[in-house]
Structure 1
Amino acid sequence: MNSWHSFLHQQGASIVEQSTISFGEKPGDYPGLESKTTITPLIHLGLLSVKGADSARFLQGQVTCDVQQLSLGHSLIGARCNLKGRALADFLLCQPSEDQLLLVMNHRLVQQNIDELSKYSAFFKTQLLDASKDYQLIGICGEEAETLANNIPASYHYPLRDGRQLLIVPTEDAPSVWKELSASAIPTGNEFWHLQDIRAGLGHVQTETVAMFIPQMLNLQAIEGISFKKGCYTGQEVVARMKYLGKLKRRMYRMTTDSPLLPAPGTPCYLPTQKQSIGNIVQAANVDNNHQELLVVLTDEASKSDTLIIGEAPAQAVKQQILPYDID
């Protein structure tokens, strides 16, 4: 347990496997929290730092978003792919200073991406580092989220598409920032944050789903996570072909169900009348004591079904929900 986790434990948090945190809230509390301002330590996320004079030029050839469009204080959604166009990680790209870029991604994927990117970074004036110990990530939800974030000078502050706010705080300042925020907001665990991600239609690559989806399956084209005007990058040929020449056979949908089991990322899905998988779970979260919301990549046919078999569970009723963006 690191110093930040120890501090959070003193504040009443329970932490499991260094990636799941709660403050005693249960799924039955979530409906009541929707109308409150909440804060969440995003311990499931980490930071990959790309620092040096060539950082933007280097990253431009490695990711789906147009790094040249990034500016100080702003962020971009993007993904990094393999040669087959499969997403190895998705991220929020931030620029805290002129010569440094930070990629916010699943913390278990940071070192793997550093190792793979290092094969190419040797030809550029840039340095790849795991900055997860240097900064802590705090999320804010609710109507007062922007006001609270603006009142924290000791952090980098990035608004998300749905109004939530992301703070990147130097580790030495994180305890004082947390105490200041908790005076005006309710501490909550990261399952509540995952639920907000699902409702925002933000599907994330996790260890179980590395190289499972092409970016368009995660709807990245609908949230400006793919630039079709920039130059080449690893996997670009496949991603571009899917837009201009191919037909996307699977895409991500938002579903609700009342199953008592929370399916793991990557869990295969089936139609009751077929034995072949027709999709996979991206992520899932409880809504209350009786319902779940899912982001799931499905075929068009499967998305119209009101019944799915998820993993080895019995067939269950599902209902498609709207996403907060249009899908091409």
Structure 2
Amino acid sequence: MSDNPHASQTPWFPLYDHRLVALSGRDALAFAQSQTMNDVGALADGQWHWNGWLTAKGRLIALFALIRIAADTVWLVVPDADADDLATRLRRFQFRSKLAIELRDDLRIAGKLSASSLASGNHWVGSAADGIELDLSGRMDGGMPGRSLRIGPELHPGANAALVARWRCMDLAHGLPRLDPSQSEQWTPQQLSLERLNAFSVKKGCYPGQEIVARTHFLGQAKRGLALVRSDAPLVPGTELPLGDQTVGTVVSACGDLGLAVLPLDLNAENPGMAGASWRFEPLHGGLAR
């Protein structure tokens, strides 16, 4: 049972900026393992994790939740990115692999601003036929509402732009980048601090961009990472952040005056130049790692 006595009153609302790409067939898991940046082989049926697809130069094309449905089926929950283009590009690497890569627009994706009473951690509940539910709550965080995500054939009524915007802002507050097309293929996993989400592996076998990711990890070459910032004016992805007479970082995701920015790791709120800056640091929440 949910810890929230009002959970049953919390409405589901469509996340129209999320779409589902399904990989199905004998080689679905092996293909996902060879192409994506996290260890798909470590997942059991009924589990999911954050994952992504990189260019050969180690830049993130798309970040998604990868769900192991069964031994021959993987679902990718893709926010923001062009899912049609992602599926098309993935098919170019099929070669002789026995699998189908298809968009599942018959399955709807919805969110709810309360913790799931069924799913927890990286374990989902339900069935591919009737729908599944994931817990997207930020564990170990006080003061932030829980969240649930549902994927199923039914269309949830009650489209609500305000709730969708709040969902996006909560993603950013937890350090989950929401990359629009202008920020695709611009950043490495380390620059986006995706280790906070356990979203990539440096121990599994080869995948596109793996050499760059592993070298950066083992040589300690990451000099920039993700920070949550708030500005005096609305932010736009791609906006450069000034500090004094220098540009110190770039906004990669935005929700009104809140944004995730790639900044030098040694820059912090105690920097003397922050007093006159038009933006400031906000504390990042945690607990979205799966």
- Category of TM-score, reference length = shorter chain: 0.7 to 0.9
Q: What CA RMSD, in Å, does the superposition of the two structures yield over aligned residues?
A: 3.0
- Residue from 257, 282, 285 that aligns with 1:320: 282
2:32 counterpart of 1:59: yes
How many Å separate the matches in 1 of 2:210 and 2:262?
21
In the TM superposition, residue 247 of structure 1 has moved relative to its aligned partner by 1.9
The answer to whether the 8 A contact 1:307-1:316 is kept is no
More displaced 10-residue stretch of structure 1: 101-110 or 63-72: 101-110
The answer to whether the 8 A contact 1:50-1:101 is kept is yes
Q: How does 1:237-256 map to 2 (within 5 A)?
A: 237-256=211-230
Instruction: Point out where structure 1 has 5 or more consecutive residues left out of the alignment.
Output: 1-35, 287-291, 309-313
1:64–1:45 distance in 2 versus 1, CA, 3 Å: same
In the TM superposition, residue 321 of structure 1 has moved relative to its aligned partner by 1.5
The answer to whether the 8 A contact 1:306-1:319 is kept is no
- Residue from 198, 201, 212 that aligns with 1:224: 198
1:125–1:95 distance in 2 versus 1, CA, 3 Å: same
More displaced 10-residue stretch of structure 1: 151-160 or 78-87: 151-160
- Residue from 36, 44, 60 that aligns with 2:17: 44
1:326–1:49 distance in 2 versus 1, CA, 3 Å: closer
1:227–1:127 distance in 2 versus 1, CA, 3 Å: same
- Partner of 1:122, secondary structure, is coil
In the TM superposition, residue 151 of structure 1 has moved relative to its aligned partner by 10
Q: TM-score, normalization: structure 1? A: 0.73
How many Å separate the matches in 2 of 1:306 and 1:52?
57
- Residue from 210, 230, 238 that aligns with 1:266: 238
The answer to whether the 8 A contact 2:45-2:71 is kept is yes
- Partner of 2:238, secondary structure, is coil
- Residue from 251, 261, 272 that aligns with 1:281: 251
1:84–1:197 distance in 2 versus 1, CA, 3 Å: same
The answer to whether the 8 A contact 1:39-1:188 is kept is no
Aligned to 2:131: 155
One-letter amino acid of the counterpart of residue 155, structure 1: G
How many Å separate the matches in 1 of 2:136 and 2:206?
27
Q: How does 1:109-258 map to 2 (within 5 A)?
A: 109-131=82-104, 133-142=105-114, 145-147=115-117, 154-162=130-138, 163-170=146-153, 173-175=154-156, 178=157, 188-257=162-231
1:215–1:165 distance in 2 versus 1, CA, 3 Å: same
In the TM superposition, residue 301 of structure 1 has moved relative to its aligned partner by 4.5
In the TM superposition, residue 174 of structure 1 has moved relative to its aligned partner by 2.2
One-letter amino acid of the counterpart of residue 258, structure 2: E
One-letter amino acid of the counterpart of residue 159, structure 1: D
Q: How does 1:98-109 map to 2 (within 5 A)?
A: 98-109=71-82
The answer to whether the 8 A contact 1:280-1:297 is kept is yes
Instruction: Point out where structure 2 has 5 or more consecutive residues left out of the alignment.
Output: 1-8, 139-145
How many Å separate the matches in 1 of 2:267 and 2:287?
20
The answer to whether the 8 A contact 2:229-2:279 is kept is no
In the TM superposition, residue 307 of structure 1 has moved relative to its aligned partner by 6.4
Q: Which has the higher helix share?
A: 1
The answer to whether the 8 A contact 1:73-1:156 is kept is no
The answer to whether the 8 A contact 1:139-1:166 is kept is yes
How many Å separate the matches in 2 of 1:187 and 1:212?
28
In the TM superposition, residue 38 of structure 1 has moved relative to its aligned partner by 4.8
Q: How does 1:72-83 map to 2 (within 5 A)?
A: 72-83=45-56
1:303–1:110 distance in 2 versus 1, CA, 3 Å: farther
Same amino acid, percent of matched pairs = 27
The answer to whether the 8 A contact 1:256-1:320 is kept is yes
Matched residue pairs, number? 267
Aligned to 1:70: 43
CA deviation map 1:183-224 (0-9, x unaligned): xxx995311101111122111322110111101122211221
Q: TM-score, normalization: structure 2? A: 0.82
2:268 counterpart of 1:295: no
The answer to whether the 8 A contact 1:253-1:303 is kept is no
- Partner of 2:45, secondary structure, is coil
